[in-house]
A and B are shown apart, each in its own frame.
Chain A
């Protein structure tokens, strides 16, 4: 599998696809969707689709594709090669969501959660297949979140396509298994030789599986922590594993959309209540008399006089 396009800039989301088999443009097709790398704190999450004519479903079974989790890495590689060889009737496409994309989506001001991110990646890939002229009739998806809701969402988005969302779809439908193999192989390749775009010198490449409970991954995270920057883009900052480590070991950073704690909240609580503005009386005018009010030219521009440096 050639991941060159993603490796050229692994900070963004990237789409890779096989050529579209000619039969897929004329015959009714089925399509499977699956993902790899949802849980790890390291590396990208990969969404994969695989499609073939409905009539060729049996041929796919003959390839003995099975749920990627039950296979060894070598078996997966082998199966992917077979899928690629069957390019006369099998097509695939991948959406690689870089760890940086995941971090920035989940941590931005208006939170974009992992479920939404996943759904949108899946929808994008199905749309890609449609745009490429694939005659889609059936779509099979392994579920993310509640199955009914997801099915409803996809059916509405793609009228005329029969959508089946099922937990464990990757072991029930060969086309989903095939998609899961494509996704898993791409994920493995990208993690194995991660190009660190940061200027870090020699980075220890022994980071294990990337799952938060892997002792190797834990040790790596502890070792590679930078007090100011935290981690390279390879790490998902939005994972609680990362955030716990940053909270305890790195320098504290305040953002203006942090929930207010400590000093700020206290200041807020000392605020004059709304009612005081309706009171007529000497209190407010006396307060104004004492304190010098800086002209709005300066307050609007956040300019202050200084007493000391």
Chain B
């Protein structure tokens, strides 16, 4: 892995800290062209996301940013306000081609892929087809026919489900190997458990893997995959009806002990904190241990002495 700083003059930020696979930043052979960042349709959100095509458009990479509040970089003799860390990691281009194949598949005809993969909003999507893996892996999600030298494809839900299932199984293996906590409930990654999580079941891993893959496919496909993996849908606790009220033990009319109605209005919201002056703020921060409280000076003398 190498770290590389990129520059563009017209952006607000002219520098990023990037961790990328060596293959992503290799110098191009001959006139293959530089590795380039491109915007493509994210199959999961349907909105634009950033990807990177390696030199010669041979390999696709997705770009993710580690982004947390209150971070900045020191780079050489300079400071960079943007404390993000960009990751450029290899990605299967088939995920991005899939939505186009599905859309064309609605017509039920065999078509050549280059007629299918077209997008007014993201014209760069045609470049996905030059990735080495694209042409060779289309059969995972589509039926193919060859007429003469030309190939025609038609989307197949069955094949896609099998392909995604394999992906999920491979993800499970990786999850186990990398010791990722997949169980229910909130767990801290820094908390070291004494007992090994032997109770973590296959289903937890599979469900987690499904969740990860769902980041790369549409919501409909995600639901279909859930069925295909024979994972029961989780009933959300919100839909569970509240437990029925206890039966009254007396016949006397009941009255509330306290009146909570004033908090019951729907526009109840946190009141904005009162504005404090800068001096008051600093005062509030002071560690007051060992200091006398103001009121101590005004309390009757006898009482103070008794204490």
Q: A295-B211, A303-B66 are in contact. Are A116 and B290 (CB under 8 A)?
A: yes
Restricting to B252-307, which residues have a CB under 8 Å from any CB of A? 263-264, 266, 268-270, 272-273, 281-282, 285-287, 289-292
Restricting to B56-72, which residues have a CB under 8 Å from any CB of A? 62-70
Question: How far is it, in angstroms, between the C-alpha of A308 and the C-alpha of B292 when the chains are bound?
Answer: 56
A133 sits at the interface (CB 8 A): no
Contact of B208 among A110, A116, A297 (CB under 8 A): A297
B37 sits at the interface (CB 8 A): yes
B interface size (C-beta, 8 A): 53
Question: How far is it, in angstroms, between the C-alpha of A119 and the C-alpha of B292 when the chains are bound?
Answer: 16
Q: A228-B79, A259-B281 are in contact. Are A275 and B291 (CB under 8 A)?
A: no
Question: How far is it, in angstroms, between the C-alpha of A292 and the C-alpha of B269 when the chains are bound?
Answer: 26
Quick check: B70 and A306 within 8 Å, CB to CB?
no
Question: How far is it, in angstroms, between the C-alpha of A112 and the C-alpha of B288 when the chains are bound?
Answer: 10
Q: A115-B291, A228-B79, A259-B281 are in contact. Are A297 and B212 (CB under 8 A)?
A: yes
Q: Which of A113, A146, A306, A308 has the most CB of B within 10 A?
A: A306
B285 / chain A contacts, CB cutoff of 8 Å: 111, 259
B149 sits at the interface (CB 8 A): no
Contact of B50 among A271, A295, A305 (CB under 8 A): A305
A297 / chain B contacts, CB cutoff of 8 Å: 180, 208, 211-212
> Closest A-chain residue to B279, C-beta based?
A240
0/1 string, A104-147, CB within 8 A of B gives 1: 00000011110110010000000000000000000000000110
B264 / chain A contacts, CB cutoff of 8 Å: 275
Question: How far is it, in angstroms, between the C-alpha of A198 and the C-alpha of B42 when the chains are bound?
Answer: 49
Question: How far is it, in angstroms, between the C-alpha of A5 and the C-alpha of B286 when the chains are bound?
Answer: 32
A268 sits at the interface (CB 8 A): yes
B156 sits at the interface (CB 8 A): no
Question: How far is it, in angstroms, between the C-alpha of A298 and the C-alpha of B214 when the chains are bound?
Answer: 12
Q: A115-B290, A146-B292, A273-B270 are in contact. Are A307 and B49 (CB under 8 A)?
A: yes
Quick check: A306 and B273 within 8 Å, CB to CB?
no
Quick check: B211 and A296 within 8 Å, CB to CB?
yes
Contact of B87 among A256, A303, A309 (CB under 8 A): A303
Quick check: B64 and A269 within 8 Å, CB to CB?
no
B67 / chain A contacts, CB cutoff of 8 Å: 302-304
B268 / chain A contacts, CB cutoff of 8 Å: 273, 275
A259 / chain B contacts, CB cutoff of 8 Å: 281, 285
A300 sits at the interface (CB 8 A): yes
Question: How far is it, in angstroms, between the C-alpha of A294 and the C-alpha of B65 when the chains are bound?
Answer: 14
Quick check: A285 and B286 within 8 Å, CB to CB?
no
Quick check: A305 and B290 within 8 Å, CB to CB?
no
> Closest A-chain residue to B44, C-beta based?
A292
> Closest B-chain residue to A257, C-beta based?
B70
Question: How far is it, in angstroms, between the C-alpha of A284 and the C-alpha of B236 when the chains are bound?
Answer: 12
0/1 string, B1-41, CB within 8 A of A gives 1: 00000001001010010000000000000000000010100
B76 sits at the interface (CB 8 A): no
A223 sits at the interface (CB 8 A): no
Question: How far is it, in angstroms, between the C-alpha of A109 and the C-alpha of B86 when the chains are bound?
Answer: 29
B242 sits at the interface (CB 8 A): yes
Question: How far is it, in angstroms, between the C-alpha of A308 and the C-alpha of B42 when the chains are bound?
Answer: 13
Question: How far is it, in angstroms, between the C-alpha of A256 and the C-alpha of B8 when the chains are bound?
Answer: 30
* Distance to closest chain A CB from B177 (angstroms): 15
A265 sits at the interface (CB 8 A): yes
Restricting to A75-120, which residues have a CB under 8 Å from any CB of B? 110-113, 115-116, 119
Quick check: B282 and A306 within 8 Å, CB to CB?
no
Q: A280-B242, A303-B64 are in contact. Are A271 and B270 (CB under 8 A)?
A: yes
B215 / chain A contacts, CB cutoff of 8 Å: 294-295, 298
0/1 string, A253-269, CB within 8 A of B gives 1: 01110010000010011
Question: How far is it, in angstroms, between the C-alpha of A149 and the C-alpha of B292 when the chains are bound?
Answer: 9
> Closest A-chain residue to B14, C-beta based?
A309
Quick check: A306 and B65 within 8 Å, CB to CB?
yes
Question: How far is it, in angstroms, between the C-alpha of A240 and the C-alpha of B272 when the chains are bound?
Answer: 27
A305 / chain B contacts, CB cutoff of 8 Å: 42, 45, 49-50, 62-65
A256 / chain B contacts, CB cutoff of 8 Å: 69-70
A157 sits at the interface (CB 8 A): no
Contact of B11 among A292, A301, A309 (CB under 8 A): A309
> Closest B-chain residue to A229, C-beta based?
B79
* Distance to closest chain B CB from A142 (angstroms): 16
Q: Which of B49, B219, B287 has the most CB of A within 10 A?
A: B287
A189 sits at the interface (CB 8 A): no
B230 / chain A contacts, CB cutoff of 8 Å: none
A307 / chain B contacts, CB cutoff of 8 Å: 39, 47-50
A265 / chain B contacts, CB cutoff of 8 Å: 272-273
A153 sits at the interface (CB 8 A): yes
* Distance to closest chain A CB from B304 (angstroms): 10
* Distance to closest chain B CB from A202 (angstroms): 19
> Closest B-chain residue to A254, C-beta based?
B70
| A–B Cβ pairs within 8 angstroms, 13 of them | A113-B287, A116-B287, A256-B70, A271-B270, A273-B268, A294-B215, A297-B211, A301-B66, A302-B66, A303-B65, A303-B66, A307-B48, A309-B50
Further 4 A-B residue pairs, CB within 8 A, beyond A256-B70, A292-B45, A302-B68: A110-B287, A256-B69, A295-B214, A298-B64
